Amino acid sequence: MQTDHGHARRFEDSLNRTQPRRRPTASRARLMLAQLIVAAVAGAAIAGDDPIYPRRAGQPAQLAFRVAKVLVMDDANTVINNAVVIVRDGKIAAVGSAKDVEIPEGCVVHDFPERWLTPGLVDAHNHTAGSLGDLNDMIYQTNPGLDTLATIQPQNELIKTARTGGVTCVNLIPGSGTNMSGFGTIAKTAGETVDQVVVRTPGTLKIAQAGNPEWYFGGNGRIFMNWNTRQTLLKAKAYHEAWTAYESGETTEKPQFDPFFDGFRGLFRKDYPTAVHTQIYQVLMTSVDMLSRKLGLWVVLDHCTFDAWKVGPLVRETDCWVINGPREFQFDRTARRMIGNCSGWWKNGVRRLGVNTDAPVIPERELSYQAAMACWYGWLHYPALEGVTKVPAKALGLYDRLGSIEVGKDADFAIWTGDPIDPRSACLLTVVDGRIAYDGTE
Condensed to tens digits (0 to 9), the pLDDT of residues 222-274 reads 888 899 999 999 999 999 999 999 999 999 999 999 998 998 999 999 999 99
More confident residue, 105 or 19: 105
Closest to 413 (Cα-Cα) out of 383, 387, 436: 436
Q: Is the pLDDT of residue 55 over 50?
A: no
The secondary element (H helix, E strand) that includes residue 119 is strand 108-119
C-alpha–C-alpha distance, residues 219 and 226, integer Å? 14
C-alpha–C-alpha distance, residues 406 and 388, integer Å? 17
Q: What angle do CA 226, 231, 233 make, to 5 degrees?
A: 100
Omega within 30 of 0 (cis) for the link into 213: no
Q: In this predicted structure, what is the pLDDT of residue 357?
A: 98
Task: Compute the average pLDDT of residues 186-204.
Answer: 96
The DSSP-derived string for 138-159 is -SSSB-TT-BGGGG--TT-HHH
Largest distance between two CA atoms of the chain: 82
Whether residue 166 contacts residue 121, with contact meaning beta carbons closer than 8 Å, is answered with: yes
* Percent of the chain with pLDDT strictly greater than 70: 85
Whether residue 119 contacts residue 390, with contact meaning beta carbons closer than 8 Å, is answered with: yes
**Same-fold call for 52-119+404-442 versus 121-402:** no
106 Cα distance to chain centroid: 34
Q: In this predicted structure, what is the pLDDT of residue 442?
A: 78
C-alpha–C-alpha distance, residues 145 and 127, integer Å? 18
Domain boundaries defined on the chain: 52-119+404-442, 121-402
Q: How confident is the model at residue 217 (pLDDT cuts 50, 70, 90)?
A: low
Neighbour tally for 261: CB within 10 Å: 21
Closest to 83 (Cα-Cα) out of 72, 69, 62: 69
Q: What is the CA radius of gyration of the chain?
A: 24
Q: State the architecture of 121-402 in CATH terms.
A: Alpha-Beta Barrel (3.20)
Whether residue 267 contacts residue 229, with contact meaning beta carbons closer than 8 Å, is answered with: no
Whether residue 63 contacts residue 86, with contact meaning beta carbons closer than 8 Å, is answered with: yes
Alpha helices by DSSP H, 177-311: 194-197, 222-247, 259-262, 265-268, 281-287
Give the domain 52-119+404-442 fold. Answer: Urease, subunit C; domain 1 (2.30.40)
Alpha helices by DSSP H, 73-168: 157-162
Residues sharing a CB contact under 8 Å with residue 277, sequence separation 6 or more, in sequence order: 176, 206, 207, 208, 209, 211, 212, 302, 303
Q: In this predicted structure, what is the pLDDT of residue 216?
A: 63
219 Cα distance to chain centroid: 32
Q: Is the pLDDT of residue 117 over 80?
A: yes
Name the pTM for this structure: 0.86
Residues sharing a CB contact under 8 Å with residue 127, sequence separation 6 or more, in sequence order: 135, 172, 173, 174, 175, 358, 359, 360, 361
